[in-house]
Amino acid sequence: MTTTSARVSPPTHQASQRVSQSVFDGSRLRVVLLVDVYDGAQQQFLEAYEQLCKQVASVPGHVSDQLCQSIENPSQWLITSEWESAPPFLAWVNSEEHVRMVEPLHSCVRDTRSLRFHVVRETGGPAADAHGAAKRRLQASPRIGDGVIRHALTFTVKPGSEEAVAKILADYASPEPRVDDTTRLCRTSLFMHGNRVVRAIEVRGDLLAALRHVSRQPEVRAVEEAINPYLEQDRDLNDPESARVFFTRAALPAVHHVTADQQDPAAERHALYYPALPGRGMRLAELLAQQDEAAADDPRSPVLRSTIFQRDDVVVRLIDVRGGLDAADPLLALGLPEPGRAGEPAELLDTDVSALQDGDFARFLELTRMELVTDRRSPDA
């Protein structure tokens, strides 16, 4: 008797187009800072770190820090810190207080790289919170990404210069998208709302490498020099410290991104600006994130992809809209709760909310809508 065994094909994995990444899941945050210290400045760095540690200890949401020095290269240091969740860390790291705190480090540090991680799993028994009382919160399940890092910069120009600035920003040669073997620029979208400029970029690979690559391109440098006279915050790109402070303050991190399973290559890209009341930007971003997460499962929603950027009281929502914004349901495009439930967003906004309170969502959509200056994609993005 001869037996034959059926050949078993390996399971196939069909990737979902649903992408979701967020800082709002409530889990603990681990921040890793890689630091390259100038030769001979190790003691100066250690003293500056000790001073910084004392100040950070009182920041709400901070749990602990650990400082490590490389056993192979004494110029390389590693700082890890733990936070109760991502929002309090982001509120601190994007604040003017943080800019002042880290100033003593600049004279002894050659380079830094910051990485932020939600804690998903933990070994060693039940973990306790900062007070040793309750189990620490872990990320419930891994999120699914799409290999794209999203980041934005924002700054303001002098009132009255908006038209001149828009022309300068629109008329430039796109830089080479390939950064290196693993990093490339995918898309740059630039918008204005009044005198506020927002430049959103999408990168595959190393964001820091991409930003450095772009800053070195002659065509980009020429544009940056051309808009210098119009900026409300002075900067000197030939002065590394001046440039560093400007771009630190201009950073507008992505705090939430969601992509629905259904996609449309012809979807239009738009940006909406939601200025928040002082101290309420993070909460406003969280509410918008909750609505976008729910809308990703709603076939009626015209929004196929949404990224929320937030820093301090600036909240910007970048959306890809099926059929265009003019044809979309204004309430769904705005990412706000159903009528009668929009009370909290209205209470968080630092703008004319009469249209929102009256239920005139079409008019409020026009108030938040940013003007597209340019939207460029690399050929193989």
Q: What is the CATH number of the domain that holds 58?
A: 3.30.70.100
Asked whether residue 246 is assigned to any structural domain, the reply reads yes
Task: Say how many CA atoms lie within 13 Å of 117 toward its Cβ.
Answer: 11
Q: Does the reported pTM lie above 0.85?
A: yes
Cβ atoms of 154 and 311 within 8 Å: the answer is: yes
- Per DSSP, helices labelled H in 75-203 are 86-93, 96-101, 162-170
pLDDT of 331 above 70: yes
Residues 278 and 359 in one domain: yes
Residues 183 and 85 in one domain: no
Q: How many domains does the chain have?
A: 3
Q: Which of 253, 272, 299 is the last residue of a domain?
A: 253
Which residue type occupies 50?
E
Provide the percentage of residues in the chain whose pLDDT is more than 90: 61
**Lowest-pLDDT range of 70-84, 271-285, 294-308, 343-357:** 343-357
Q: Which of 253, 279, 302 is the last residue of a domain?
A: 253
Rounded to an integer, the average pLDDT of 226-243 is 90
Asked whether residue 128 is assigned to any structural domain, the reply reads no
Q: Is 210 exposed, middle or buried (0-12, 13-18, 19+ CB in 10 A)?
A: buried
| Among 220, 217, 219, 151, residue whose Cα is nearest residue 179 | 217
Residue 304, pLDDT score: 93
pLDDT of 323 above 80: yes
CATH number at residue 301: 3.30.70.1090
Mean pLDDT over each residue of the chain, to the nearest integer: 88
Q: Is 348 exposed, middle or buried (0-12, 13-18, 19+ CB in 10 A)?
A: buried
Rounded to an integer, the average pLDDT of 225-236 is 93
Residues 195 and 260 in one domain: no
Asked whether residue 294 is assigned to any structural domain, the reply reads yes
Residues 171 and 211 in one domain: yes
Neighbours of 361 (CB within 10 A): 19
Cβ atoms of 157 and 231 within 8 Å: the answer is: yes
Q: Which residue in this structure is represented by tokens 């709302």?
A: 193
Asked whether residue 229 is assigned to any structural domain, the reply reads yes
Q: Which of 253, 284, 310 is the last residue of a domain?
A: 253
User: When comparing pLDDT for 19 and 144, which is higher?
Assistant: 144
Looking at residue 342, what DSSP letter applies? Answer: -
Q: What confidence category does residue 194 fall into, taking pLDDT thresholds of 50, 70 and 90?
A: very high
Asked whether residue 14 is assigned to any structural domain, the reply reads no
Residues 234 and 289 in one domain: no
Say how far apart CA 375 and CA 154 lie, in whole Å: 16
Residues 106 and 170 in one domain: no
Residue 67, pLDDT score: 96
Asked whether residue 342 is assigned to any structural domain, the reply reads yes
Length of the chain in residues, anyone? 381
Residues 364 and 259 in one domain: yes
Asked whether residue 321 is assigned to any structural domain, the reply reads yes
Residues 281 and 214 in one domain: no
Asked whether residue 199 is assigned to any structural domain, the reply reads yes
Residues 74 and 106 in one domain: yes
How does 98-118 read in b/e, with b if 16+ C-beta sit within 10 Å?
beebbebbeebbeebeeebeb
Residues 212 and 103 in one domain: no
Residues 283 and 354 in one domain: yes
Residues 307 and 266 in one domain: yes
Provide the percentage of residues in the chain whose pLDDT is more than 70: 90
How do residues 120-144 score in pLDDT, each as one tens digit?
998 875 554 444 434 568 888 888 8
Which residues constitute the domain of residue 153?
A: 148-253
Residue 140, pLDDT score: 84
Residue 3, pLDDT score: 45
